[in-house]
Structure 1
Amino acid sequence: MDVLIHLFVGLHIVGIAALLGGFLTQMKAMGQGTARFVPGMLHGALTMLVTGVALVGLNQAQDYPLNNIKIGIKLAILIAILGLVYVKRDEETVEKPLFGLVGALTAANIFIAVLWT
């Protein structure tokens, strides 16, 4: 079961990389006011959601201790990211503050995962 958990952790990291990578590739466009949410950002966020739920289930099945408050906060942030990216995915340009908010929420999710013990 630990191998499966490690596999899903790896896939979770791939999801965050897709979301953050999509954001970083649009940074120059954000400065010019032409940034948009690329499909990889939506796919990365969805990957994070699916693998995160799977990780919680697998860890609970193994009776590993879970920090439910941390998981709840990370889920709330991810749902906010998903909502913003999903609603604005077809628009040619996204406003700078909104695009920056997605980047800030993504960074916050990463820092919560790494620093909250």
Structure 2
Amino acid sequence: MGILINVFVGLHIIGIAALLGGFFFQMKAMRTGEARFVPGMLHGAFTMLVTGMVLVGLNQAADEPVDNFKIGVKLALLVVILGLVYVKRDEEKVAAPLFGTVGALTTANIFIAVLWT
């Protein structure tokens, strides 16, 4: 079970990398007002959602402690991220504050995962 959990943790990190990498790739365009949500950001967010749900299930099945409040906060942030990216995915330009919100929420999600014990 431990190996399976580690595989999904790796996939979860790949999803984070896709989402945050897409954000960093567009930061220069954000300054000029030309930023847009690239498809990799949407795929990364969906990957985070699916692998996160699997990780919660696997940890509960392995009788590992799961902080449901922490998971709820992370899920709420991810739902907002997914909603923003999904709704605005076809637009040629996304407002800088909206684009920055996705980056900030993604970063907050990472810090919650790492620092909240």
- TM-score, normalized by the shorter chain, greater than 0.5: yes
Instruction: Give TM class, smaller chain.
Output: over 0.9
Alpha-carbon distance between aligned partners in 2 of 1:57 and 1:115, rounded to the nearest angstrom: 21
Please give the alpha-carbon distance, in whole angstroms, between the structure 2 residues aligned to 1:112 and 1:2: 22
Once the 2 structures are TM-superposed, how far is the Cα of residue 26 of structure 1 from its aligned partner?
Answer: 0.1
Distance in structure 1 (CA, Å) of the matches to 2:60 and 2:111: 23
Q: Given the two structures, how large is their TM-score scaled by the length of structure 2?
A: 0.99
What do residues 62-99 of structure 1 show as CA deviations (whole Å, max 9, x unaligned)? 11001000000000000000000000000000001100
| Counterpart in the other structure of 2:53 | 53
Partner residue of 1:25?
A: 25
> What percentage of aligned pairs have identical amino acids?
77
Q: Given residue 114 of structure 1, which amino acid in structure 2 is its aligned partner?
A: V
Cα distance in 2, alignment partners of residues 106 and 57 from structure 1: 22
Distance across 2 between alignment mates of 1:96 and 1:18: 19
Distance in 2 (alpha carbons) for counterparts of 1:96 and 1:6: 36
2:70 match: 70
Name the counterpart of 2:3. Answer: 3
State the superposition RMSD in angstroms.
Answer: 0.3
Residue 112 of structure 2: aligned partner: 112
User: Where do 4+ consecutive residues of structure 1 move more than 4 Å?
Assistant: none
Query: Is it true that 1:34 corresponds to 2:31 in the alignment?
Result: no
Distance 2:109 2:57 in 1: 20
Equivalent pairs counted in the alignment come to: 117
2: CA distance between counterparts of 1:104 and 1:41? 14
**CA displacement, residues 32-55 of structure 1 (integer Å, 9 cap, x when unaligned):** 000000000000000000000000
How far residue 111 of structure 1 moved from its aligned partner, in angstroms, is: 0.4
Aligned to 2:16: 16
Q: Please give the alpha-carbon distance, in whole angstroms, between the structure 1 residues aligned to 2:92 and 2:61.
A: 44
Query: What is residue 96 of structure 2 aligned with on the other side?
Result: 96
Structure 2 unaligned blocks of 5 or more: none
Structure 2 counterpart of 1:2, which letter? G
